[in-house]
Amino acid sequence: MPPASEPKHAQPNIQDVFLNYVRREKLTVSIRMMDGSELEGRIKNFDRFALILDQAGIDHLIFKHAIAAIKTPKAVSNYFSHQ
């Protein structure tokens, strides 16, 4: 049986919406890694498996499976309205 196609009106993945928002707005984010360390910088790009973090002019390739949380400097009421 072929896989069911997604409805065209389905909302995008919340992770992609969040990452696109902070990338477009060039917000400085704090990334807490699974080992407890924290990185701070701007997200330049991302894909399904990793993201590029600009930290003081130096690019870091960070694999998503190693990230515990990403914090923004301010709350956003609805990420979906910023698409």
- CB neighbourhood size of 10 (10 A): 7
- The tally of CA atoms less than 13 A away on the side-chain side of residue 55 is 12
Q: What is the pLDDT of residues 20-53, one digit of tens each?
A: 999 999 999 999 999 999 999 999 999 999 999 9
Does any domain span residue 18?
yes
Does any domain span residue 7?
no
Given this model, what pLDDT does residue 81 score? 66
Does any domain span residue 47?
yes
Given this model, what pLDDT does residue 11 score? 72
Given this model, what pLDDT does residue 9 score? 64
- The total domain count for the chain is 1
What are residue 29's phi and psi, to 5 degrees?
Answer: -115, 155
Residues 5-23 have a mean pLDDT of 80
Does any domain span residue 26?
yes
| Full residue range of the structural domain in which residue 44 is found | 14-74
- What is the pTM for the complete model shown? 0.78
Does any domain span residue 29?
yes
Q: Residue 31: give its domain's CATH number.
A: 2.30.30.100
Q: What is the pLDDT of residues 55-71, one digit of tens each?
A: 999 999 999 999 999 99
